[in-house]
Amino acid sequence: MIGIIRNLIFFISLAAFLSTACTHVTGPEQRLEEISPEDRAFLDSILSSLKSMTGDFERMVGPFVFTDAGVTRVDIDRFSGDRSFFIRLGNIVDNRPSVAHQVISTLIDSLDDMAPTKVTYRGKAVPLGVMCLEALLSICYYEASDKNGNITAWEGTVFPGATKEELRTAKRAWKRILKKRAYIML
């Protein structure tokens, strides 16, 4: 009888330990203490860093793509500035995957922010929301597809000259992807 009680106490203690030690935590209560103070400060200043970046978007001749109307060339607006911010953000997320969802959420929450940045497009300041999308796309992406599985355009894509309404639409689209965790990490 004493052996049974000892075994029962052991299993209850083990279950209690495992339920607290092995619980997967998500959301804002994630344990972030494993991140260096420098990386924590970097993550805490994402938005201010994006706002103070310098550079511009340049129009590049893009590839040919197939559309319903036939083959057409698509030009690409590419950020040409110091990419070290995006590289560091990618490295932090790669080395600490537990922070990825939080970082993605922070960027998506500011997708419709029209505050001007120091980055320009056609001589005008680019909104912070555009730079948030640029940062977002440096760590993850989403591919919309039609019912046949073909990749298709979606509302989450905006260009450097985006309007407030285009950024709002992109934010709503990305919020749906965030909720489903349907984004794909790079």
Q: Is 49 part of a structural domain of the chain?
A: yes
Asked if the structure places residue 9 within a domain, the reply is: no
Beta strands in the chain, from DSSP E residues, in sequence order: 54-60, 64-67, 70-73, 76-81, 116-121, 124-127, 140-141, 144-145, 151-152, 184-185
CA distance between the termini of the chain? 57
Does residue 96 belong to any structural domain of this protein? Answer: yes
Contact (CB, 8 A) for 126 and 57 = yes
Q: Is 83 left (phi over 0), alpha (psi -120 to 50) or beta?
A: alpha
Residue at token pair 């209690």: 16
User: In the prediction, which pLDDT does 165 show?
Assistant: 98
Print pLDDT tens along the chain (186 aa).
555 444 434 334 434 443 433 333 344 444 544 789 999 999 999 999 999 999 999 988 888 777 777 787 878 899 999 999 999 999 999 999 999 999 999 999 999 999 999 999 999 999 999 999 999 999 999 999 889 988 888 899 999 999 999 999 999 999 999 999 999 999
* pLDDT for res 70: 79
Ramachandran angles phi, psi of 164, nearest 5°: -55, -45
Residue in the block written with tokens 């092995």: 22
Secondary structure (DSSP) of 155-183: TT---TT--HHHHHHHHHHHHHHHHHT--
**Is 23 within the bounds of a domain?**
no
User: Considering the entire predicted model, what is its pTM?
Assistant: 0.77
Q: Is 9 helix (H, G, I), strand (E, B) or coil?
A: helix
- Domain assignment present for 61: yes
Number of domains, the chain: 1
Q: What is the pLDDT of residue 156?
A: 95
In a domain, 18, yes or no: no
Look at residue 14 and tell me if it is in a domain: no
In angstroms, what is the C-alpha Rg of the chain?
A: 22
Q: Which one-letter amino acid corresponds to residue 105?
A: S
Q: Which residues form the domain of 174?
A: 30-185
